[in-house]
């Protein structure tokens, strides 16, 4: 489980260190930095699990994403890191030099250390520029004869279970993080079409395999829990997923007072959104970390308690982080014992509302 999330120099997040719980909800006014926090975590996941920083280029590159407000005397940098009970990781991204890819940041340093507190004695793997060294079993340092490009993470080449078990453990953990952001419910959304009846233990990020995911839950997962959640949200309603002779997977919902069931193409945006969230929450292969960005989209405020119950159910099997604009969902999640973090923005800087300089968790950035 992630204990600490740290971001420095990214958009409005000049310096932000957060303690995360089993279930955490992040709230705040429009423009307070919630989306920046979500994007920073997505970027951190890209680096930690794939060694890729190309997602930053899609945001306009390093120069667009770096904090635009007043900075200290140090180098221009975006720093991202997280700590678990066993291992911690930090990456330092700097401005690119002249070259063929000016949107990709340069990775100035990466460090993996044991535990949550960075000390020289706890460092396990250290990358500075293109030089990488790792600690051997006897505690001595060994330099790895590998030259990395400026935009390549050590995760891309060195995460080996035998040679660098610390890197491998972190990469595999990050690969079990799952993100859902603005699931599609428009008329042409893939979730409204017939699916393929194949084993689908996790809903796709865009929700295009909704029917197969629900069919998998019905056949091999918590079908009773899924049915109960749908009934709480839409009293008396039932979902049904059938497999046709032609090999298609069809989703339909029966509702009180209707003489026929409604197909996925006929469902309202709000109903389809709830079913997508339910498929994510009841996935038969739960993630280590489930991140939901604005799950309230298209939903009526009256459904927020049902959504909070879904999220709380998911938190029984996964660590869950919810980023939301909806006050109703924030209140419902707090009633479900979620740890609440409210972001506020003063000028160009995001901070935790009501928190002092020493109220966050302990965190130290590695030196370049």
pLDDT tens string 147-177: 777 888 888 888 888 888 999 999 999 999 9
Q: What is the mean pLDDT of the chain?
A: 91
Q: Is 198 exposed, middle or buried (0-12, 13-18, 19+ CB in 10 A)?
A: exposed
* pLDDT band with cut points at 50, 70 and 90 for residue 57: confident
Q: Residue 190: what pLDDT?
A: 93
> Are β-strands 289-293 and 123-128 bridged in parallel, bridged antiparallel, or unpaired?
unpaired
> Rounded mean pLDDT of 185-193?
94
Q: Residue 64: what pLDDT?
A: 83
* pLDDT band with cut points at 50, 70 and 90 for residue 230: very high
Q: Residue 78: what pLDDT?
A: 94
- Ordered structural domains, the chain, with CATH: 2-22+50-176 (no CATH), 178-342 (3.40.50)
pTM above 0.75, yes or no: yes
Residue 113 has pLDDT above 70, yes or no: yes
Name the nearest CA neighbour of 275 among 253, 305, 290: 253
pLDDT digits (tens, 9 = 90+) for 16-51: 999 999 999 999 999 999 999 999 999 999 998 887
pLDDT digits (tens, 9 = 90+) for 247-303: 999 999 999 999 999 999 999 999 999 999 999 999 999 999 999 999 999 999 999
pLDDT digits (tens, 9 = 90+) for 216-225: 999 999 999 9
Name the nearest CA neighbour of 360 among 84, 35, 29, 7: 7
- Tokens 């109903």 belong to which residue? 271
- Provide the H-helix boundaries in the chain: 34-50, 54-57, 62-65, 155-158, 165-174, 210-220, 223-233, 269-281, 304-314, 327-335
């Amino acid at each position: 489980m992630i204990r600490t999330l740290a971001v420095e120099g990214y958009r409005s997040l000049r310096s932000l260190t957060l303690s995360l719980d089993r279930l955490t909800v992040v709230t705040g006014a429009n423009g307070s930095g919630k989306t920046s926090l979500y994007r920073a975590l997505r970027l951190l996941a890209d680096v930690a699990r794939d060694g890729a920083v190309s997602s930053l280029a899609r945001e306009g590159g390093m120069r667009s994403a770096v904090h635009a407000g007043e900075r200290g005397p140090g180098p221009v940098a975006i720093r991202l890191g997280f700590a678990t009970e066993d291992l911690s990781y930090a990456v330092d991204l700097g401005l690119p030099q002249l070259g063929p890819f000016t949107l990709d940041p340069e990775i100035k340093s990466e460090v993996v250390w044991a535990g949550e507190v960075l000390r020289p004695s706890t460092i396990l793997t250290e990358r500075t520029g293109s030089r990488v060294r790792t600690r051997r079993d006897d505690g001595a340092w060994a330099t790895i004869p590998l030259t990395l490009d400026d935009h390549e993470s050590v995760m891309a080449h060195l995460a080996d279970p035998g040679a660098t078990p610390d890197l491998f453990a972190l990469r595999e953990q990050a690969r079990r993080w799952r993100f859902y952001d603005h699931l599609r419910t428009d008329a042409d959304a893939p979730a409204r079409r017939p699916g393929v009846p194949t084993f689908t233990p996790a809903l796709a990020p865009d929700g295009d395999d909704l029917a197969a995911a629900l069919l998998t839950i019905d056949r091999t997962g918590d079908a009773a829990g899924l049915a109960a959640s749908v009934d709480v949200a839409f009293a008396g309603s039932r979902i049904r997923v059938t497999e046709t002779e032609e090999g298609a997977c069809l989703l339909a919902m029966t509702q009180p007072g209707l003489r026929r069931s409604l197909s996925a193409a006929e469902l309202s945006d709000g109903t389809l959104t709830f079913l997508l969230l339910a498929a994510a929450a009841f996935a038969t292969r739960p993630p280590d970390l489930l991140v939901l960005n604005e799950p309230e989209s298209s939903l009526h405020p009256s459904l927020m308690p049902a959504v909070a119950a879904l999220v709380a159910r998911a938190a029984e099997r996964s660590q869950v982080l919810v980023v939301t604009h909806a006050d109703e969902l924030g209140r419902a999640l707090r009633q479900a014992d979620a740890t609440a973090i409210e972001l506020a923005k003063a000028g160009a800087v995001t901070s935790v509302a009501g928190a002092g300089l020493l109220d966050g968790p302990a965190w130290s950035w590695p030196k370049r």
